[in-house]
Structure 1
């Protein structure tokens, strides 16, 4: 029956979701390769619940050519769009893993071209969303917010996380060169995305939805809080106090999910060390410099910072390839 087929399809897509977050947070390879996926997107929840057979479009990775013509956007819901934005996040994750010699013009031009292509695809995805899914103002409209469910929240917060992941590499490069300098526009895009994540976080807490959300939500809060800390410590030299609400939410989520507590602990430590250095007019601690390396994933940062002496001392080296000084 359709309801059984759709159930199996949704099971596959949930495995896809888990694989994406497990990989993006740890920098391992994806277990499910987009190029091997030949499956349609899930339909709206209400159509599935009614056992109403409908057609949906196929999942379309950017590096595959499709001749399927059926689209049927009226049959798609938040879950389908959530999967699509995760597909774009997957491409960005792979893009950020590629080493780039920022002293070589050819490398930089190639990087910038791919960066613009990903930005265009990300913006196009957002532009094409139907209004009932793409308009975040629903969070502020009386009555409309009641129809905002957890998967809608995850779709939006993942979009903003994807914006940060892409543009933070251009806004806060760990190394610079005459032909590769920080982008102010990318920094603004990141900060706007963080503001939207903070808005979503407030909505979740106000409507007591936190217990219904898991590690993927915590990951987005971590990405936003890290951006605030990096921007505040390296650019403004004043950390936006909005970070405290994000850390508090992560700490509360730690009651259910250990990874959220790890994020909160890591952020709290770096924030405390930075505040201490500011009070005593010292150089920013090395933990801030480690956190500011936007190439590093959460697993790397946890490993490096947790093994670093809190006062002085060297960082314990980590096995594995470290980007060269001239690589982004």
Structure 2
């Protein structure tokens, strides 16, 4: 921290990774914030050829301070590029999990994507350069209703690999939270609802296009490395993509009763099917990866499992159906990840994965009254210890679901107060992240308390008589009329591969 160098930045990345994975997220936030400033100060956020071009054509009366000498080899150039993208991923992860603004935006970043791992290991540049990647302009612009292109050009795609696709998928997940979930909308105004749904359609199309335009060898999460293991970056890319699909669709999949008056017919059944398919595939991919790889697992991997586990609980409670068996697989995967973080000789101390798994288990045992198990970090010690500050006002929790601007009280949404007594002995430091949300519109009183206790392997469970405005006719705008694109869940959801030898069908 006392000097600027690529090596010091690499050390900070390792420290932040360890702190977050150990379940002490708040301690890492300041480190991640420092890293995002350091990459800009070291000019790691800009390609060196881009910086030299600007210097050759433009002159300034004052020059910025430089800490790094220009890279002398391709390996050094790629090393700096990969260091930047690791910091970028941590910035996005912290923003997604807390609802805070992004630190790295397009105003400061002009970077090519990293090359495929095989090219990097060989130490020789590929025949073509990797393409530039377009990232978010800012966390949220209420006046901007369109997304920038992900890539400026499709040239150089052959040089991309799992790491690059993980970056793209993480940016999509970030956009779901910043461009859609945090967008404030007045649901009493038809035009505002239409604008909000158009944002949904843009993101939905972006996710479909990402999956569709992946090179064939990377299209499924079963790509093996030279050592015979699944590519961890590609696995995380597909899991992150499916998690983005879940967070995008869950608001429409499980709408509140208040949405019955919204003059737009929502595709709730289709979105619920999409959410369930994506969550099941995440559970499958994670289980197979853990069975064939003994490496330490990233916090983002755990995050994806937790989001999908909560969605499965939501689906079972909302449709009053039995809980899908993939929920057990998710909890088992989180327990295995927790064991790896503690190590073979370490005691069973709490970490991010163990906290996620314990919250899912407790929510399942407590029934519908504990499905919404979010907590937001607070610097005040009594923010967790006092019932008056935990679960009392969902408007104060971070990473709001799309229906947050409706200004509905907890009693209206949940029907009764959330039971968080079992969590109130924790200190703020032990709360690792502001946990990702269930749909704020989720009606807990619509499901019996024992509806999520039995695990089975049913269909989607959407045959129940849940009244949504899909059934309303006359005087309502059909959601599909807002855009020509309509997609089947299989077009959105990334899969492990039905041909993978370890897959259980």
Q: TM-score, normalised by structure 2?
A: 0.54
Please, which moves more after superposition, 252-261 or 146-155? 252-261
Q: Which residue of 2 aligns with 1:281?
A: none
User: Structure 1 170/20 Cα, relative in aligned 2: closer, same or farther at 3 Å?
Assistant: same
Please, which moves more after superposition, 160-169 or 64-73? 64-73
Contact 2:135/2:150, CA 8 A, preserved across alignment: no
Contact 1:102/1:177, CA 8 A, preserved across alignment: no
Q: Which residue of 2 aligns with 1:99?
A: 184
Deviation at 1:319, TM superposition (A): 8.4
Q: Which residue of 2 aligns with 1:114?
A: 199
Distance 1:123 1:67 in 2: 15
Q: Which residue of 2 aligns with 1:20?
A: 92
Residues 284-325 of structure 1: CA deviation (Å, up to 9, x unaligned)? 42x22x35xxxxx7747xx9x97698xxxx944578477402
Structure 2, unpaired ranges of 5+? 1-72, 137-146, 342-349, 398-403, 410-439, 442-505
Contact 1:160/1:194, CA 8 A, preserved across alignment: yes
Larger Rg: 2
Are 2:250 and 1:178 equivalent residues in the alignment? no
Residues 72-113 of structure 1: CA deviation (Å, up to 9, x unaligned)? 111111111111111211211112011222222111101111
Are 2:143 and 1:61 equivalent residues in the alignment? no
Contact 2:282/2:305, CA 8 A, preserved across alignment: yes
Contact 2:252/2:267, CA 8 A, preserved across alignment: yes
Distance 1:230 1:147 in 2: 33
Distance 2:149 2:228 in 1: 39
Number of aligned residues: 302
User: Structure 1 37/149 Cα, relative in aligned 2: closer, same or farther at 3 Å?
Assistant: same
Match of 1:268 among 357, 361, 383: 361
Deviation at 1:69, TM superposition (A): 4.8
Task: Please give the residue correspondences for 1:116-131 in structure 2 after superposition, counting only pairs within 5 Å.
Answer: 116-131=201-216
Deviation at 1:148, TM superposition (A): 2.2
Q: Which has the higher helix share?
A: 1
Residues 155-188 of structure 1: CA deviation (Å, up to 9, x unaligned)? 1111111111111121123452322556111111
**What's the RMSD between the two structures over aligned residues?**
3.2
Deviation at 1:252, TM superposition (A): 2.8
Please, which moves more after superposition, 24-33 or 60-69? 60-69
Q: Which residue of 1 aligns with 2:314?
A: 230
Residues 125-169 of structure 1: CA deviation (Å, up to 9, x unaligned)? 110001110124x47x9x999352111111111111111111112
Q: Which has the higher contact order (CA 8 A, sep 6+)?
A: 2
Task: Please give the residue correspondences for 1:159-178 in structure 2 after superposition, counting only pairs within 5 Å.
Answer: 159-174=241-256, 175-178=258-261
Deviation at 1:41, TM superposition (A): 0.3
Q: Which residue of 2 aligns with 1:198?
A: 283
Distance 2:269 2:227 in 1: 33
User: Structure 1 83/225 Cα, relative in aligned 2: closer, same or farther at 3 Å?
Assistant: same
Contact 1:9/1:42, CA 8 A, preserved across alignment: yes
Contact 2:253/2:269, CA 8 A, preserved across alignment: yes
Please, which moves more after superposition, 232-241 or 113-122? 232-241
Contact 2:229/2:293, CA 8 A, preserved across alignment: no
Distance 1:9 1:215 in 2: 22
